[in-house]
Structure 1
Amino acid sequence: MHKVEDAPVTVPQTVFGFDFGIKRIGVAMGNTMIGQASPLAVIKSIDNQSRFAEIKALIDKWGPTRFIVGLPLHPDGAEHEMTARCRRFANQLHGRFDIPVELVDERYSSAVLSQKRGEVIDDRAAAVILQQYFDQLPY
């Protein structure tokens, strides 16, 4: 018979979710203990150096151990131009920060959000993507 103190201890991990876009990148944060994602930031930098500098500042502040990147696909699952860009972004994240990256199907994630004209929802879309990841974890 196992005692409670014999049970393996699972350390909560901070996880970042990304909704990649050409003009903006939405960032969300959550942890594996609570399993709930929250919007964190919208990165509006236009060049890679500035984008990754802002991401680095968030990493330094929050210390994530895993990245989740939304992978856009056509409704039938076919890939398109943004799919390749998101894969490249995910590879760059892993290469620059040496943090594991997982891709999550982001089809319909923006449809979950009601968007008012001109409202930036990228951080909330990132939270939906990250929540999809948390929802499939075996707790």
Structure 2
Amino acid sequence: MPESHATANPRMGAVLAFDFGERRIGVAVGESLLGHAHPLTVIDSAANAERFAAIAALIEEWQPSQLVVGLPLSLDGEEHAMTLRCRRFGNQLRGRFALAVDYVDERLSSVEAAGRLRDNGVNARNARGRIDAVAAQIILQSYFDAHPAPASPLTPPTT
């Protein structure tokens, strides 16, 4: 379930989502009007300066209207140490890039990502770096599914 702290409805435009980890950050991108997420890349660095430089480059390239961060919770919905790290990461994103940041419950997104890759014939050894980007895609798709874009004024009403 999405946990929104920034917007009740998504803004129009590109949205970047992050599956934050201590070593790697998976990144996905989507367009809020289309409501469809795609895995983008994995930032593979533990150094904050390198991470935020890579994120700045992605923000420059995609010009997102907002950001989404996966929020890890225990299976019973409780917060833990990694939850607090993800909230801190989201706060840093908001402060550095002056963009709205929403959080999405990411429970089991990495397990689902590994399963999707396995179902597509990618073995675990080759999938290691890709799992995080697919997990970010799952996080962003969950966000889009919970926050559908308003109907376009060009779309005829259904009766």
The interval holding the TM-score normalised by the smaller chain is: 0.7 to 0.9
Aligned to 1:31: 31
Q: Percent of counterpart pairs with the same letter?
A: 53
**1:54 maps onto 2:54 in alignment:** yes
TM-score normalised by the chain length of structure 1: 0.88
Count of aligned residue pairs for this structure pair: 129
Shift of 1:60: 0.6
Partners of 2:45 and 2:108 lie apart in 1 by 25
Moved over 3 A (4+): none
TM-score normalised by the chain length of structure 2: 0.77
Aligned to 2:155: none
**1:20 maps onto 2:8 in alignment:** no
Q: CA RMSD in A?
A: 1.3
Deviations, residues 80-137 of structure 1 (Å, cap 9, x unaligned): 1110110010000001000000010001212222264332210000000000000011
Q: Could you tell me which of 111, 126, 134 is aligned with 1:124?
A: 134
- What amino acid is aligned across from residue 98 of structure 1 in structure 2? A
Higher relative CO (Cα under 8 Å, sequence separation at least 6) belongs to 2
Aligned to 2:102: 102
Contact 2:28 2:40 in 1 (8 A): yes
Q: Could you tell me which of 113, 134, 137 is aligned with 2:144?
A: 134
- What amino acid is aligned across from residue 46 of structure 2 in structure 1? I
- What amino acid is aligned across from residue 133 of structure 1 in structure 2? Y
Aligned to 1:63: 63
